[in-house]
Structure 1
Amino acid sequence: MSLRAETAVFLLGLCALLNIYSTQPLLPDLARDLHVPVEQSTWTITATTLGVAVMAPFAGSVSDYLGRKRVMVTAIAASLAATLACAVAWNFAAMLVCRFAQGLFIPFVFAVAVSYIAEECTGPAAQGANALYVSGTAFGGFCGRFLSGAVTAHFGWRSSFIGMALVLLVTLAVTAAWLPRERRFQRSDSLLASVQGIGRHFGNVRLLGTCFIGASILFLQVGSFTYAGMFLGDPPFELSSFEIGAVFAVFLVAVVVTPLTGRLISRIGRLRTFVLVSLVSLAGLGFTLVPSTPAVIVGLAASSTGVFSGQACAIGYAAEAGGPARSSAVGLYLTSYYAGGSIGAVAPSPLYTAAGWSACVGLLAAVIGAGVLVALAVWSAGTGRPHRIEEPAYD
C-alpha cells in the first residue's frame, strides 16, 4: 500500500470516530446553554451511537451494490453537512436530531472502509492495514474530544462543530484524491439481494460472539471516558472543559501502540492478544481509583490503549467470519459495537449518581471480564492466527 493510500486509510479511521464523542468535554456547557441536567446531556453521545447502530447493518449492503469508494466519499460529505447543522441547533431536541443524523452517516465510512481493506489487502498486509485504520480511529477519538474542548474554551461550543467540519473537509479531499479505487470489488446483483444476506449471519455463532465482544469494547470506552470526565470535573480535581478535553491526549498512546497489535496477533494469535490487552484495560481502570490526577490519566491511557488494541483484534475477525458476505458481517458487528457504546453512555449513570466513579469502575471491570469469557468461548487458538502471507493487492 502506498503512503498516500495509507494516509487515506488513517484519515478514514479518524473520520469514523471524530464526531461521535466530541461532546464529552462539552457536557456541562451543553447542559447549561440548552437548559437540561448534565446527566441528560449524555444523550448527545447516545443519539449519535444509536444512529450508527441503526444504519450499520445496511451500510455494507449499500456499498456492495454501489461500490466502496463512492459510498465513503458521499458519506463524508453528508457527515460534514450534519456537523455544521449541530453548530446552529437552537434547542436540545434539535441537537439530538442533528447528532442522530451524524450517526446515520458514520457506518458508510466505518463498515465500508473495513470491507475495503479486507478485499484489497490479504494476509499480514490486511492485519497491518486494519491496525493502521484502528490507529486512525484512536487519533479521531482524541482529535474530536481535544479539538472540541479547546475550541469551546475560547470560542464557545458552537464553534467546536465548525472545527470538526474543517477536519472532515480535509478527510474528504484526501480520500477522494488518494484512496485507490477498489480492484477486487464484486458488485451485488441488487441492493435487495445484498440486504437479504444479513439474515444469514444470525446462525454464525463466532460472528455473534464477536459482536458481543465489540459491544463490550465500546461500552468500556464510552463508559470510562464519559464518567471519568465528570469525575475529573468534580472535586477534588475540578478540571475545566479545556483540561478535560486535554485528558483525551491519552488516545495518542493508542495511536502509536495499536499498529503494533497486528504484529502481535501474527506472533501469538488473536485470542491471546485480546486477553493480554483486556488485562491492560483492567489494570488501567484500577489506576483511576488512585485519588490523583496523574494516576487517573495514566489509568485512562492504559484502558483506552487496551480498548483500541482489542478493537483491532475483533473487527478483523468479524470481517473474516463473515466470509463472502463480509460487508454485512462488519455492519452487524458495528451495530453491536455502537449499541454497546450507547448503553455505556447511560447505564453507569445511576451508579455514578449513587456511589461515584468507583461504582462505575466495578461495572466496567465486569464488562471486560464478560468480553474475555466470550472470546475464550468463540475464538479458538487456531482461528486467532492469520492465513499465510500474500503480497498486498496494490502498492
Structure 2
Amino acid sequence: MNYIQPHTKVYQKASIALFISGFVIFATLYTTQPLMPVFAKEFGISAASASLTLSISTGILAFALLAAAALADGFGLRNIMTISLFATSVLGLLTAFSPNFATLLVMRGLLGFFLAGVPAIAMTYVGEEFDPKGLGKMMGLYISGTSLGGMSGRLLTGLLTDLFGWRDALAIIGIICFVLSYLFWVFLPQPRHSARKQTNLKKTRLAYRTVFVNGRLMLLISLGFILMGSFVTMFNYIGFQLMGPPYRLSQTIIGLIFIVYLAGTLSSVYMGKKADSYGTSFMIKIAIAIMASGALITLFTWLPLKIAGIAVFTFGFFGAHSIASSWVGQQAGEQRVQASSLYLLSYYLGSSLAGSFGGFFWTHFEWPGIISFIAGLLLIAYPVIFFAGKGAREAETKKQLKPYSKNADI
C-alpha cells in the first residue's frame, strides 16, 4: 500500500493541513463562548439565551456529523473537509455583521452544520492515508490542533474584543481562518486509498441498530453527554461571574484563563496511560472525581484559587473524555465507527442541551447553582460507569469460560 510516509515532503504538508483543519474548526466554534456576557448586555437577553450562540452550533453539529460521514463516501474526504473549512470561515466572518440576536443565532446554526465536515472525516483520512506505524503521532497532531484552536479562538476573541469590539474580533478571526483554509486546500494531498463509493444504507442501519441494542455500549456513549455537558456549563458561565463584582475582569483577562486548556492536553495522555495500568473503569472514576474537586474549588472567592479550580476541573475532564472515548472504541467491536459517531453525537448534545440549561441555575442561583448542576451531572456518571463496567466484566468472563466449557464437555 502506498501510504504517506514520515520524513517526506508530502507527510510534512499533510501534517500542516490536518493541524490547520482542527485549529480552524474549533477556533471558530468557540469564539462566542467568552462573548456571552457581552451579548447579554448588548442584546438585552438572559445568560441562558446568550449561551444559545454556542449551544445551537454544537446541537446542529451533533446531528450533522452523521450526515457528513455518509456524504464523504460520495463526494470524497478531501472535498468535504475543504468545503467545511471554507464555509465555516465565511460564516464566521459574516456572523460579525449580524444586525440582531436572531440573525446571530441563524448564522451560528448554519456554522454548526458546516463545521461537521472535519470532525466526522479527519480521523478517517488519517487512518486510511498514513502509514499505520505513525498513526498515533498524526492523530495526536490533529487533536493538538483542535485543542489549540479552541484555546486560541477564545484568547483571540477576548483580546480583540477589548481592542476593537466583538464584531471586529469575529471578522478578524474569520479572515484568519479563511487564509488558513486556503493553506489546507493547497497542502492536503488527494486521498489514495479512500475511493468514492456508494453508501450502503442497509448495512449502515444494521450497524447502528447493533449499537443501539447494546445496553452496555449505550451507557458508555452517554458519558459523552455527561462529561461535555459539565465542561461547557463551567466555561459558558464563568465569564458572567468574572465580569461582575467583585472581579470585574476584562475580556482579555477572561480569555487568558482559557490557557488552562494546556492542562487538558497533558491529562489526556497521562490519564490514558494510567488507565492502561490500573483499569479503565477505575481511572475514569478518578478523573471524574478530579473534575468534581475542581468544580468545588471554584466556589472560593479568592481569584487565584478559583482559577486553580478551573485548571483542576479541565485536567479531569480531558482525562475522563480520553478514557471514555477509547473505552467506547474498545467495546464496540466491528461497529467502532458507528459507536464513535454516536459518542460524538452524545458529546455535542451535552454541550448544547446542558450548556443552555445551566443558564437556569445561573439566573436563579448564580455560581453555587452552576456548581450544583455540574455536581449532579457528575454524580450520574458513577452508576453509569458501574453498570457499564459490570457488563464488560461479565462479557469478558463469558469469553474466558467458553473454551473451558467445551473442554469440560469432552
**TM-score interval, smaller chain:** 0.7 to 0.9
**1:216 corresponds to 2:230:** no
Provide TM-score, normalisation by structure 2: 0.82
1:393 maps to what in 2?
A: none
* 1:232-243 paired onto structure 2 within 5 Å: 232-243=242-253
CA–CA distance in structure 2, aligned partners of residues 198 and 264 of structure 1: 31
Question: Are 1:313 and 2:336 counterparts?
Answer: no
- Correspondence for 2:158: 149
**TM-aligned CA deviation for residue 364 of structure 1:** 0.8
Is 1:336 equivalent to 2:346 in the alignment?
Answer: yes
Gaps of 5+ in 1: 385-395
Q: Deviations over 1:100-137 (max 9, x none)?
A: 01111122111212333455579895555544443332
8 Å Cα contact 2:60-2:113 kept in structure 1: yes
* Rounded Cα–Cα distance in structure 2 between residues aligned with 1:170 and 1:232: 33
Are 2:85 and 1:70 aligned?
A: no
Secondary structure at the aligned position of 1:110 is classed as coil
Is residue 239 of structure 2 the alignment partner of residue 229 of structure 1?
Answer: yes
Q: 1:297 aligns with which of 297, 301, 307?
A: 307
User: Is 2:55 the partner of 1:19?
Assistant: no
Distance in structure 2 (CA, Å) of the matches to 1:215 and 1:11: 27
Residue identity in the other structure for 1:44? T
What CA deviation, in whole Å up to 9, does each residue of 1:154-202 have, x standing for no partner? 1111112223223423542443344454455365433745764564232
Change in Cα spacing, 1:211 to 1:237, as seen in structure 2 (3 Å) is same
Cα distance in structure 2, aligned partners of 1:55 and 1:117:
20
Q: Distance in 2 between matches of 1:250 and 1:328?
A: 32
Match in the other structure for 2:97: 88
Tell me whether 17-26 or 72-81 shows the greater mean CA deviation: 17-26
Return closer, same or farther for 1:316/1:113 CA change in 2, 3 Å cut-off.
Answer: farther
Q: Give SS of 2:300's match.
A: coil
Supply the distance in 2 between the matched residues of 1:81 and 1:73 (Cα, whole angstroms).
12
* Kept after mapping to 2: 8 A contact 1:321/1:329: no
**2:221·2:339 contact (CA, 8 Å) conserved in 1?**
no
In the alignment, what sits opposite 2:407?
Answer: none
Higher relative contact order (CA 8 A, sep 6+): 1
1-structure distance, mates of 2:274, 2:183? 30
1:108 corresponding residue in structure 2? 117
Separation in 2 of the partners of 1:338 and 1:212? 11
- Name the residue aligned to 1:389: none
Aligned to 2:3: none
| Structure-2 change in CA distance of 1:128 and 1:381 (3 Å) | farther
Give the alignment's Cα RMSD to 1 decimal: 3.0
Partner of 1:97: 106
Residue 297 (structure 2) aligned to one of 287, 297, 309: 287
Return 112-121 or 153-162, whichever deviates more.
Answer: 112-121
Q: Which runs of 5+ in 2 are unaligned?
A: 1-5, 397-410
Comparing 110-119 and 313-322, the one that deviates more = 313-322
Q: 1:122 to 1:202 in 2, by over 3 A?
A: farther
Q: Deviations over 1:16-72 (max 9, x none)?
A: 422233212212322333343344211111111121123122221222333323211
Identity %: 27
Post-superposition offset of 1:297: 1.0
Q: Does the alignment pair 1:247 with 2:257?
A: yes
**Residues matched between the structures, number:** 384
Q: Distance in 1 between matches of 2:385 and 2:136?
A: 19
Moved more, 75-84 or 62-71: 62-71
SS at match of 2:117: helix
Does structure 2 conserve the Cα–Cα contact (< 8 Å) formed by 1:211 and 1:332? Answer: yes
- Name 1:348's counterpart in structure 2: 358
Q: Which moved more, 1:238-247 or 1:375-384?
A: 375-384
Contact 1:56 1:111 in 2 (8 A): yes
